[in-house]
Amino acid sequence: MSIPVWAQLAYLAAAVCFILALKGLSGPKTARNGNIIGAVAAVVACAIPFFYLDLDHVPLILVAIAVGTAGGVYGARTVQMTQMPQMVALFNGVGGGAAALVALLELHEITSGAGDEPGWFILLATAFTILVGSVSFAGSVITFAKLQELMTSRPVVFPGLPVVFGLALIGALVLGGLLIGDAGNGSGMSAGIVLALLGLLVGVLLVLPVGGADVPIVISLLNAFTGLTVAAGGYVLSNTLLLVAGTLVGASGTFLTLLMAGAMGRSVANIMFGALKGGSTLGSGVASDRPVKSAGAEDIAILLAYAERVIIVPGYGLAVAQAQHTLRELVDVLTARGIEVDYAIHPVAGRMPGHMNVLLAEAQVPYEQLKEMDEINGEFKNADVVLVVGANDVVNPAAKTTPGAPIYGMPILNADEAKQVIFMKRSMRPGFAGIENELLFEPTTTLFFGDAKESLGKLLNAVKAQ
């Protein structure tokens, strides 16, 4: 059925809104409006088919929309900031799985003889959507399980994994070719189902060897996969809006993946397949028993009181403890006393790009105080005190000094150049990369052990008492 002109214009307007939404999300001041524009466009896009198509099973469709809406609202309102990457992985997987199912339904219509005979490119797009959508779904489920600690976050490798992965991938490509050649015969649908199952296997095997520290990059890559499947599905369904939206997601996901890999100083291939060559994205993870210098809140408050320049390095531990509000209050007290304070934000601090920015924005931290790594790295040497709150790997000098370390080559914040470093940690266990941080043992470093929120509360009270 051809799409009416008014519906095409509405789809075009929604596509433009998606582009404007993506542009709005690129900056903190416009992100909220960008999110609203994108959401409204998505609602309009979903509503349009009800007005020009003669749909079957409308009550079931409405029930499905209601269930999805309720689940989305509940998830968005209840998810903790520390679990945001898991939610992104889960939602992304649902998108990839939905695209694969839609392609299978279209394939069923083709094999049943309904409609005109499709061209080879339509069949190619259908096979691509089934395969890559299944890969994205299965891979996203594994990333969710790793981040949610439903399974080990360490790389999972077994003898013969590369062989099994290679055979599954080759089998999927062969089946895709058979589907394109025999879609008009009875074997086309069977080939599509087996292709989806092989895609699920490839998705699982693709993500299992990835260590927990690299899982956010895999989420971004799978997000790009989902975007490409949606774009291909849009071509299959002759829906320009899906084609535009999928292309936007695919392009932005690919760009983000490359940026994140660059921020870690590694290639995407090394991140995805490094463990297969005997490497690992995680170290031993054993807590060190080497002696360190530690202090209490009162001593650290004195250091801060005599400082003129303080830099805060927030990390995942800050998010876990939900200590951002206490940290902002501490910074406000220091700033009121004439101390210059900034936050140093590493591109992959937390679990995803922008994680720390959003966390601190939630605590009403002025965005002007948030400094990206390239902007602030040259200022550490002028800092009297660097306060590291829940971060570890992003200030680990091993990234610059220890070839062979899992994080070697990753650009880091130059906290080691400061006059004094206050390291707030729960224990001597290493960071997510699982390796020791030599900065902890430097004579200029003082450790403050305890939960970040509790420790910051004690430090805040001690500073106020000065």
- Same domain for 369 and 264, yes or no, is no
pLDDT at residue 116 greater than cutoff 70: no
- Same domain for 168 and 232, yes or no, is yes
At 135-146, the pLDDT tens digits run: 999 999 999 998
Task: Give, as one character, the DSSP assignment of residue 418.
Answer: S
Residue 120: pLDDT band by 50, 70, 90 thresholds?
A: confident
Specify if 1 maps to a domain: no
Percent helix, strand and coil across the chain, each to the nearest 5: 65, 5, 30
Residue 183: pLDDT band by 50, 70, 90 thresholds?
A: low
Sign of CA dihedral 232, 237, 242, 244: positive
- Same domain for 268 and 318, yes or no, is no
pLDDT for res 150? 87
- Stretch among 376-380, 385-389, 410-414, 430-434 having the lowest mean pLDDT: 430-434
Specify if 208 maps to a domain: yes
- Same domain for 264 and 305, yes or no, is no
Closest CA to 104 of 72, 71, 57, 137: 137
13-22, 51-60, 68-77, 179-188: range with highest mean pLDDT: 13-22
Closest CA to 199 of 258, 270, 254, 140: 140
- Same domain for 273 and 303, yes or no, is no
Mean pLDDT, range 378-383, rounded to an integer: 93
Mean pLDDT, range 292-315, rounded to an integer: 92
Rounded Cα–Cα distance for residues 115 and 96 (Å): 26
How many structural domains are present in the chain? 2
Rounded Cα–Cα distance for residues 147 and 94 (Å): 17
What residue numbers bound the domain in which 399 lies? 297-464
Mean pLDDT, range 103-116, rounded to an integer: 78
Instruction: Please check whether residue 404 is in contact with residue 427, taking contact to mean a CB–CB distance below 8 angstroms.
Output: no
At 253-281, the pLDDT tens digits run: 898 888 888 776 677 887 787 666 654 44
> What does each C-alpha distance from 4 to 8, 45, 196 come to in angstroms?
6, 14, 33
pLDDT for res 278? 53
- Same domain for 125 and 271, yes or no, is yes
The pTM assigned to this predicted structure is 0.79
More confident residue, 276 or 368: 368
pLDDT for res 36? 94
Instruction: Please check whether residue 187 is in contact with residue 249, taking contact to mean a CB–CB distance below 8 angstroms.
Output: no
187: left (phi over 0), alpha (psi -120 to 50) or beta: alpha
pLDDT at residue 178 greater than cutoff 90: no
At 25-41, the pLDDT tens digits run: 877 778 889 999 999 99
Instruction: Please check whether residue 222 is in contact with residue 249, taking contact to mean a CB–CB distance below 8 angstroms.
Output: no
Rounded Cα–Cα distance for residues 223 and 246 (Å): 10
Task: Give, as one character, the DSSP assignment of residue 280.
Answer: -
At 279-298, the pLDDT tens digits run: 444 445 566 667 888 999 99
CATH number at residue 437: 3.40.50.1220
pLDDT for res 114? 58
pLDDT for res 288? 67
Q: What angle do CA 269, 272, 274 make, to 5 degrees?
A: 80
Task: Give, as one character, the DSSP assignment of residue 115.
Answer: S
pLDDT at residue 104 greater than cutoff 70: yes
Specify if 56 maps to a domain: no
Active site residues: 393
pLDDT at residue 349 greater than cutoff 50: yes
More confident residue, 259 or 464: 464
- Same domain for 266 and 311, yes or no, is no
- Same domain for 264 and 325, yes or no, is no
Rounded Cα–Cα distance for residues 5 and 11 (Å): 10
At 201-239, the pLDDT tens digits run: 999 999 998 876 678 888 889 999 999 999 999 988 888
pLDDT at residue 6 greater than cutoff 70: yes
More confident residue, 369 or 406: 369
Mean pLDDT, range 138-166, rounded to an integer: 87
Specify if 24 maps to a domain: no
The radius of gyration of the chain's CA atoms, rounded to the nearest angstrom, is 25
- The last residue of one of the domains, among 243, 277, 311, is 277
pLDDT for res 83? 78
pLDDT for res 381? 93
More confident residue, 72 or 27: 72
Continuous segment of H or E residues that includes residue 167: helix 161-182
Residue 187: pLDDT band by 50, 70, 90 thresholds?
A: low
